[in-house]
Amino acid sequence: MIRAMSTKSRRQFLRSGAALAVPAGGWVAQGGSQPPNFIVLFADDMGYGDLACYGSPTIRTPNLDRMAEEGTRFTSFYAAAPVCTPSRVGLLTGRYPVRAGQPNNTGPDTVGGLPLSEILLPRVLKARGYKTMAIGKWHLGFQPGEYLPTSRGFDAWFGLPYSNDMIPPWVKTNRPLHLYRNADAVEEVSEQSDLTPRYTDEAMRFIKSSRDNPFFLYLPYSMPHLPVSAPERMRGRSRGGLYGDVIETLDWSVGEILRTLKDQGLDGNTMVVFASDNGPWHNLPPRMLAQGVEPWHAGSKSLLRGAKGTTYEGGQRVPGIVRWPGVVRARQVSMDMASTLDLFPTIVRAAGASPPADRVYDGADLMPLLRDGQPSPRSHFYYCLGKTLEAVREGPWKYRFARGRGEDGPSQDAPLPELFHLDWDPAERHNLYDRHRDRGNRLAARMKEFAEEIRAGLSA
């Protein structure tokens, strides 16, 4: 990972080749000859505590639990941002959203999106001969067409251009919500309960049709973003209510995808990642409480503080599971830091490709951890909300300086320095700044330096 450093040091680092080193042919499973496949499954607004393997007492997720048992499960895995668009920016570019030029959400009336100068993960993989497809919610810009997935490195796309709530009565817009097939709007969406099954069918078809080529499948689900809905056959099954039905439908989808990989003989040569884009929407605005949407149609952040739209842990610490039989260690639980920012360099390196050398990346290659159980290469993580850098984590210590924004909305109080030890206090209940001012002030200085590097603001 290229951390905050002087311009001279960064140039030396890049020239040394340390950031670009790759194995000769990428990682290949034992006995395999074809480059590995990659599948990234990305839930929308799913909380840290929504899976059984992360402690849910009422939601059954046997397929994701099995995926964790057969791979590595992270307990300190971070989305790149606490809201939808910038979170996707971080995953697909390997760069903090502020650095990449898209730190805020886009919407149905937005013109433009993620800057066209940004190079996305599928484009790098295509140069290695990969087939690529996106299925599900895009949310990185859709007009003009240069911002669509099929212009950003994906061979094909089926899904929604943005969040499923961006229609009346939840959002003021005159634009209908359409499903897209590649660059064309092909169907107006009036019923959302079948979105997850349709995405799953598309994913299975893509896997089957790509079995003779290395492939990259990116599946950002539309659920469980509000308004939640589940197919009729899945309703009323979960003790977690409608929200539980939605999560159990996602788990069914994961099971179908894993089964397809096994049936096609691809199981041992495919890395599958599951994560969420941010925490649950507990601080939802009143506009969302319409047409049957209830406050309890959001998930759980377990014992974590905060929620979607905040830089407390509940906003960005999410489930993170990686499975690759024969390569990624099974039954491994890592308490080290990792992030969706790390998926770009991890996948690129595993594919035997090289990231473009003309830009700074914020991710680190996780393969030594995943394969060999080594410590995480990530020593720091920076928490941004929009264009504002609000917190930094170094090891177990997290320093936060932000205008208050809890689950009940923003506060008008002046920001106060907060310092938490996340190993002792993952719920961020005990502010230790007064006891450890030197440490807090050092992290504050580091935050200021990094804000200057990525051209972010600081709270005042």
Q: Give all domains of the chain, ordered by start, each with its CATH number.
A: 34-377 (3.40.720.10), 387-458 (3.30.1120.10)
Helix (H, G, I), strand (E, B) or coil at 439: helix
Residue with tokens 């208050």: 404
Low-confidence stretches of the chain (pLDDT < 70) are: 1-33, 405-410
Q: Please count the other Cβ atoms lying within 10 Å of the Cβ belonging to residue 412.
A: 6
Output the pLDDT for position 408: 55
- Catalytically active residues are 84, 139
Contact by Cβ (8 Å): 277, 87: yes
Q: What span, in angstroms and rounded, lies between the C-alpha atoms of 344 and 74?
A: 17
DSSP string, 401-413: EE--EETTEE--S
Length of the chain: 460
Output the pLDDT for position 30: 45
Q: What span, in angstroms and rounded, lies between the C-alpha atoms of 378 and 365?
A: 9
Question: In whole angstroms, what separates CA 31 from the centre of its chain?
Answer: 31
Q: pTM of whole model > 0.85?
A: yes
Long-range contact set of residues 356-360: C-beta below 8 Å, sequence gap at least 24: 356/119, 356/124, 357/14, 357/20, 359/95, 359/119, 360/2, 360/10, 360/95, 360/99
Query: pLDDT by residue (tens digit) across 345-398?
Result: 999 999 999 999 999 999 999 999 999 999 999 999 999 999 999 999 999 999
Query: How far is CA 436 from each of CA 38, 404, 431, 441, rounded to the nearest angstrom?
Result: 43, 21, 10, 9
Q: What span, in angstroms and rounded, lies between the C-alpha atoms of 53 and 203?
A: 24
Output the pLDDT for position 403: 87
